[in-house]
Structure 1
Amino acid sequence: MLDFLTQYWWTIAIAINYILVIIAVATILFKSINPTKTLTYIIVLLVFPFFGLIVYYFFGQEYRKNKIFNRKDVLNNHLIQSIHKDLKIQPESLNLYEPKIDEDQIRLIHLLQKNDKSPLTKFNDVEIIINGENKFEKLFTDIDNAKEHIHIEYYILKDDNIGTRFLDLLCKKALEGVTVRLSFDDVGSKISSKMKKKLTNAGVQYFAFMPVLFPKFTGKMNYRNHRKIVIIDGEIGYVGGINVSDTYVNYPENKAYWRDTHLKIIGESVFTLQTQFLTNWNFVADTSLTLNRSFFPQNKVKTVTPVQIAASGPDTDWANIMEAIFFAIVTAEDYVYITTPYFIPNDQIITAMQVASKSGVDVRLLIPDKSDSWTAKHATNSYLEQLLDANVKIYRYEKGFIHAKTMVVDDVFTTIGTCNMDYRSFNINFEINALIYNKEKAIEAKAIFNNDLESAIQINLEQWTTRSNMKRIQEAYCRLWAPLL
């Protein structure tokens, strides 16, 4: 028997592999998931022995997600219900809003309220911030003035130059008696043991989101917290694309210019950011905070800027942000301007952009000229020709790397947040965007987009179709992996 196993071990291993593959394929086929994603998994399983099973184990199975996040979803519902009941944070009747909200905006608002308990808030001051150096100047001032609490949630947090300043300031505030709660993603972040000890000694409460054994080697392991949120005293909120790392600040010594967009919000929508932070904190800390009025103080803002916070992740029933983006595109009448660093869309978004453009809407897409990911770049390129065929105008940003995640529509609607235009942001990662229903902010966001176009070059369809066959092969290969990127 031993001789037989020794002689035919490879044949036996392959046979076992494909028995498991057959079981996995049957499981995939019985799931109601995207056909493209289904086909990708089946091809990987059949063509790559053993490796395919590893990929499927880490990226394709849902039972791990269900086991992890069912409890989080229960916590979310319980906490949100408590906040709405005890603190009476309810959206006002839409017909009371001035200026009036148009019918398509109202339909989008109802979509999110139904899907993710996202109340529309009326009284807000919203400031669009360009680039990390401007964000951190404002953020550090607001943190230094904190009196009650500072709540923080980041995908990337590193104790480099800007990160050390940030963390040192948190220690200072904690020692002054301000409650500091910090959550950071374990894969995206890198904080030294020395700094963690300093945080502990200062009284900063911190937890890593879903710790992994070897963060350096996990790459894009599933279910990461990609959000960037700061809430200060329940009154000031920050949300957008800028993480805490020197990469996001344009120091003179940096090799590349980094173009990004963030929001500072004062007003009622900070309550929704606070709610999202608290639901995450209950999950990472494995405890339930006692709600108190300091988390949701009396709003002092009188400026009318309707804002809705859309959050999505593997613990939500719907792809809330993707649905909001899709709906805004298909209901656009004049223009849709999109900026994203990673464009690996699903069929719904591609179709929405094509239909909008062919119906006469000015659809423009701004992406980086040089990407920080070879695979993502070629996967993105594989989608461009079908958009160019539909007369979508596509631009490549050449001044540096553009990391902003924004969309502005018809001078009436703007979204800024953490969500990329890709499979991972739509379906896997935890994301959060602010939806702003305000003409002034939409015009400002449009001006910012047009200013970025001055540092971009437009892709010409005729020239694009003459690219080499080698590039097309690279694109086809990378697109095969698109649902997994």
Structure 2
Amino acid sequence: MRSSSDHFQSMFRFLINVVLILLQLTIIGLIILQFSEDAVYAYWLIEGLAIFVVLNIVYRKKTAAYKISWIIFVLAVPAVGIVLYFIWGRQRVPRKSKKRWDEVNQRTFLKLEQNQAVFDSINDKGIKKQVELVYRLSDLPVWQNTRTEYLKLGEEMHRANLEAIKTAEKFIFLEYFIVTAGKMYDELMAALYEKAAAGVEIRMMVDEMGSLSTLPKDFYKSCAAHHIRSIPYNPLSPSLFKFISFRDHRKMTIVDGRVAITGGINIGDEYINEKVRFGHWKDMALRLEGDAVFSLTTMFINMWDYSTGAVSPLDAFKGTVTPEVGNELVMPFCDGPMNTRNPAVNTYMTLFANARDYIYITTPYLILDTDLTNCILLAARSGVDVRIITPGIPDKKLVYATTRAFYGDLLAEGVRIYEYSPGFVHGKVLVSDDQVAIVGSINMDYRSLTWNYECGTWVSGSQTVLDIKADLLDCIKVSREVCYSDWEKTTFMKKVGQSVLRIMAPLM
């Protein structure tokens, strides 16, 4: 969900853009009115700087859509575009932060090695290639000895969370983007307080921007009073760019390194349909039990140590009880602005490239770059049944309009798009060919695929994959299919507006 603070972020950028564009137009107007020689020289100086910035954009390793958006913006309104590009566009991580991140990685992600016997046991060459790619991109291995359970509603996830917490004996780790007061929060915190009183170590990390307007005012004080270690991820700092742009969008609960619950669900009553905001709230998560939980534990320790400067003994948080299960393959992975290999988008593109029969997706936001769009279109053109489920009732109208702006190209090539009629689908789920599925926090938009810290769990060879397929087909049954003939009826001016939104999408 895009929280009110997330909405504030978008509106903040939008208002800055409007103000600076008006300023640019004012400057141009004054130049025209005065038409002095010095003013003309100043204007051409700005144009020269704009060309220099455009060359810098072209040189950088970014997607074509991202480059085109910034190039158009910088050339159209150079005085504004240059300023905004240096504020928002470069996505540069400070060297000090990158150095600290690399140091933490040395004792977290790079300590996890792929079990060669597990990798060698994979007989399907296509699956083996996917596993090898995700491992190379994210430094996180594939596991067996893990049982997964698909949780198709926030209500199921909340119950699984509480049940797992009740079994805790050593530690509980929680990492969430949004935490909001209400029934879900009260029940969760009551369970945590009880376990903290029994001597269980509890750490909780909350994204500062995501929960800016929702977090209870006494949250950190209450946690400290109950001996729970809690921190804000990326608190407000002089680096406004870093504070607004790099968000921890992950959602996970980890208990004793043995059980983990992760997916798209935050802490808030709308996620469990106790509070109705946009009709029925459809969200998904995954429960893991077994060896693969250690990858999620490593993700948490990595972010905690990076944020606090602590040095946590990773091996001390490894689960010791392994369930007796079959040959299910489970591969949690993560992504973020520090990882230039872009695991999330490259994993998605690989799945589209390897799909043979079908690929079904749910996403609340469908704001695609050129590369991912082309992968989807190539799959559809080759006869793969591509279906995408988006919300029927939007949470933010501007984002919803931007999502719909991407429908035309997809529909024209046979991609089937469904809008979830009962309400708002917030789940980030993908399933393909009865073989592979991903459940995570990753939206199919620029923010998730470029700016945010995200996580997902790739699974193969289990009943979970079939359960996900069945759930998405049930969603389709209650959704309204958007046909290309419907899209063609869109008015000319509305299509012009959609074109503008598509150009501006990477800048939002």
Superposition map of 1:458-469 within 5 A: 458-469=481-492
Is 15-24 or 407-416 further displaced after alignment? 15-24
Change (3 A) 1:51 1:165: farther
Could you say which residue in structure 1 is the equivalent of 2:18? none
Determine which of 99, 104, 107 is the counterpart of 1:75.
104
Contact 2:278 2:394 in 1 (8 A): no
Is 222-231 or 379-388 further displaced after alignment? 379-388
Determine which of 163, 168, 178 is the counterpart of 2:185.
163
Could you say which residue in structure 2 is the equivalent of 1:205? 229
Check if 1:150 corresponds to 2:175: no
Q: State the shift of 1:155 in Å.
A: 1.0
Rounded Cα–Cα distance in structure 2 between residues aligned with 1:408 and 1:308: 14
Change (3 A) 1:292 1:470: same
Tell me the matched-pair count. Answer: 471
Q: For residues 121-178 of structure 1, give each alpha carbon's deviation from its aligned partner in whole angstroms, at most 9, with x where no partner exists.
A: 0111111112212211121121122110001111111233322332333233222211
Q: For residues 258-287 of structure 1, give each alpha carbon's deviation from its aligned partner in whole angstroms, at most 9, with x where no partner exists.
A: 001100110111011111111111111111
Change (3 A) 1:166 1:15: farther
Superposition map of 1:30-179 within 5 A: 30-48=59-77, 51-82=80-111, 84=113, 90-96=115-121, 101-179=123-201
Q: State the shift of 1:222 in Å.
A: 1.3
Contact 2:297 2:317 in 1 (8 A): no
Consecutive unaligned residues of structure 2, counting only runs of 5 or more, are 1-33
Amino acid at match of 2:177: Y
Q: State the shift of 1:31 in Å.
A: 1.7
Query: Which secondary structure does the structure 2 equivalent of 1:192 belong to?
Result: coil
Consecutive unaligned residues of structure 1, counting only runs of 5 or more, are 1-6
Could you say which residue in structure 1 is the equivalent of 2:404? 381
Could you say which residue in structure 1 is the equivalent of 2:15? none
Rounded Cα–Cα distance in structure 2 between residues aligned with 1:178 and 1:52: 52
Rounded Cα–Cα distance in structure 2 between residues aligned with 1:115 and 1:437: 18
Is 206-215 or 372-381 further displaced after alignment? 206-215
RMSD: 2.6
Q: State the shift of 1:416 in Å.
A: 0.7
Could you say which residue in structure 1 is the equivalent of 2:54? 25
Check if 1:322 corresponds to 2:351: no
Q: State the shift of 1:421 in Å.
A: 1.0
Contact 1:112 1:324 in 2 (8 A): yes
Superposition map of 1:59-458 within 5 A: 59-82=88-111, 84=113, 90-96=115-121, 101-189=123-211, 190-212=214-236, 221-251=244-274, 254=277, 256-458=279-481
Query: Which secondary structure does the structure 2 equivalent of 1:375 belong to?
Result: helix
Amino acid at match of 2:64: P
Rounded Cα–Cα distance in structure 1 between residues aligned with 2:69 and 2:96: 24
Rounded Cα–Cα distance in structure 1 between residues aligned with 2:295 and 2:394: 33
Rounded Cα–Cα distance in structure 1 between residues aligned with 2:186 and 2:41: 54
Query: Which secondary structure does the structure 2 equivalent of 1:378 belong to?
Result: helix
Query: Which secondary structure does the structure 2 equivalent of 1:92 belong to?
Result: helix
Q: State the shift of 1:95 in Å.
A: 3.5
- TM-score (norm: length of structure 2): 0.86
Q: State the shift of 1:47 in Å.
A: 3.4
Change (3 A) 1:201 1:438: same
Is 327-336 or 17-26 further displaced after alignment? 17-26
Q: For residues 233-273 of structure 1, give each alpha carbon's deviation from its aligned partner in whole angstroms, at most 9, with x where no partner exists.
A: 00001110101112212116555210011001101110111
Rounded Cα–Cα distance in structure 2 between residues aligned with 1:346 and 1:65: 25
Rounded Cα–Cα distance in structure 2 between residues aligned with 1:10 and 1:230: 59
- TM-score (norm: length of structure 1): 0.90
Query: Which secondary structure does the structure 2 equivalent of 1:482 belong to?
Result: helix
Change (3 A) 1:286 1:10: farther
Q: State the shift of 1:311 in Å.
A: 1.0
Amino acid at match of 1:68: S
